[in-house]
């Protein structure tokens, strides 16, 4: 069994597409098909059912997928363990981050880090907190930055930065809204799985009967900047990390509104690593710089 064939199988299974897998792996589709055919012959079972419109795994394929993920994780750990002996001259860091740290915090961290460690390559993937923690559990990223904690024993969390979730509105909205009047205003929600949405909904449920409708939902949007633009355009109000609207408040393009009788919604961001996995020198260096930057932001917002 060829490990490269297993990696090809993993990409096809994850992307559910021969075309996308070929593009990611810089291979031709005939090469992809040949590698999977060779893998099926070596195992003596059919792994993938392929039609013109879809790719699906057979039962044997589903079993192999689990082990292929474990093997990919083990391969990465081997490379990282060996890299630990190479110091900080060369290396790479795969980072997964939820929207707020990924868009509004980490770019500044990258700038500081690259000035000091010019030959270390950084790859950043931005998704919601739920996806990032799932990928961290599978060993896909070296570090994660998220706004919620998962219960899995595979991960370790250390606090990175405290934040506050606030209501934002167009400039022509009132400065204060009674909580019982919120239903009069259309609201834009974040997507399920978002750490911001999770914290917001927990607060709402603690003070309001969830069986009753408190909001008039205007839209559900996954991108933070798109939400801000929708609010500026008058689509409705929304809730957002205070960190994400720092420049908007400074430029006077959005306002924070007070919801009377609603408690302050606090949340924290966390640095996530895999429990028991060796942290290489360049990954530790990145964590140290990220924590220093988190302290600077905390002092600025204090």
What would the pLDDT profile of 80-114 be if each residue is shown by its tens digit? Answer: 666 655 655 677 899 999 989 999 999 989 988 98
- pLDDT the model gives residue 212: 47
Angstrom distance (rounded) from CA 80 to CA 91:
9
Domain finish residue from 31, 52, 75: 75
Q: 270 has which bridge partners?
A: 146, 159
Q: Quickly list H helices, the chain.
A: 3-15, 18-25, 29-43, 59-83, 99-100, 106-116, 129-137, 195-207, 224-232, 246-251, 281-301
Q: Compute the chain's Rg from CA coordinates.
A: 23
**Alpha carbon 59 to chain centroid distance?**
30
Q: Are residues 234 and 259 in the same domain?
A: yes
Angstrom distance (rounded) from CA 107 to CA 243:
14
Q: Are residues 110 and 230 in the same domain?
A: no
Q: Are residues 176 and 202 in the same domain?
A: yes
Q: What is the pTM of this model?
A: 0.66
- pLDDT the model gives residue 211: 46
Say how many C-beta atoms besides its own lie within 10 A of residue 70's C-beta.
12
Angstrom distance (rounded) from CA 286 to CA 121:
11
Quickly tell me which residue has 């039962």 as its tokens. Answer: 59
Q: Are residues 156 and 274 in the same domain?
A: yes
Q: Which domain holds residue 228?
A: 163-266
Least confident of 121-125, 146-150, 216-220: 146-150
Domain finish residue from 59, 75, 91: 75
Q: Are residues 44 and 174 in the same domain?
A: no
- Tens of pLDDT, residues 63-87: 888 888 888 777 777 776 666 556 5
User: Contact 12/39 with Cβ under 8 angstroms?
Assistant: no
Number of domains the chain contains:
3
More confident residue, 5 or 214: 5
Q: Are residues 260 and 174 in the same domain?
A: yes
């Amino acid at each position: 069994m060829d490990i490269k064939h297993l990696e090809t199988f993993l990409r096809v299974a994850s992307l559910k597409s021969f075309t996308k897998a070929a593009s990611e792996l810089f291979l031709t589709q005939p090469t992809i098909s040949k590698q999977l055919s060779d893998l099926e012959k070596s195992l003596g079972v059919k792994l993938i059912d392929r039609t013109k419109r879809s790719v699906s795994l057979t039962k044997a394929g589903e079993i192999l997928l689990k082990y292929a993920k474990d093997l990919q994780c083990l391969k990465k750990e081997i490379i990282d363990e060996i890299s630990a002996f190479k110091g900080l001259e060369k290396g790479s860091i795969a980072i997964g981050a939820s929207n707020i740290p990924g868009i509004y915090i980490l770019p500044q961290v990258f700038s500081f880090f690259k000035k000091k460690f010019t030959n270390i390559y950084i790859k950043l993937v931005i998704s919601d907190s739920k996806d990032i923690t799932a990928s961290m559990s599978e060993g896909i990223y070296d570090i994660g930055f998220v706004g919620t904690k998962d219960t899995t024993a595979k991960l370790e969390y250390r606090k990175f930065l405290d934040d506050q979730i606030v209501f934002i509105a167009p400039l022509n909205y009132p400065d204060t809204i009674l909580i019982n009047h919120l239903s009069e205003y259309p609201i834009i929600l974040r997507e399920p799985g978002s750490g911001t949405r999770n914290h917001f909904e927990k607060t709402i449920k603690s003070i309001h009967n969830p069986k009753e409708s408190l909001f008039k939902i205007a839209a559900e949007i996954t991108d933070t900047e798109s939400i801000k633009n929708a609010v500026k355009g008058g689509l409705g109000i929304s809730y957002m990390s205070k960190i994400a609207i720092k420049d908007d408040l400074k430029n006077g393009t959005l306002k924070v509104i007070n919801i009377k009788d609603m408690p302050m919604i606090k949340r924290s961001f966390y640095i996530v690593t895999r429990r028991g996995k060796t942290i290489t020198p360049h990954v530790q260096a990145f964590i140290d710089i990220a924590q220093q930057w988190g302290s600077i932001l905390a002092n600025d917002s204090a």
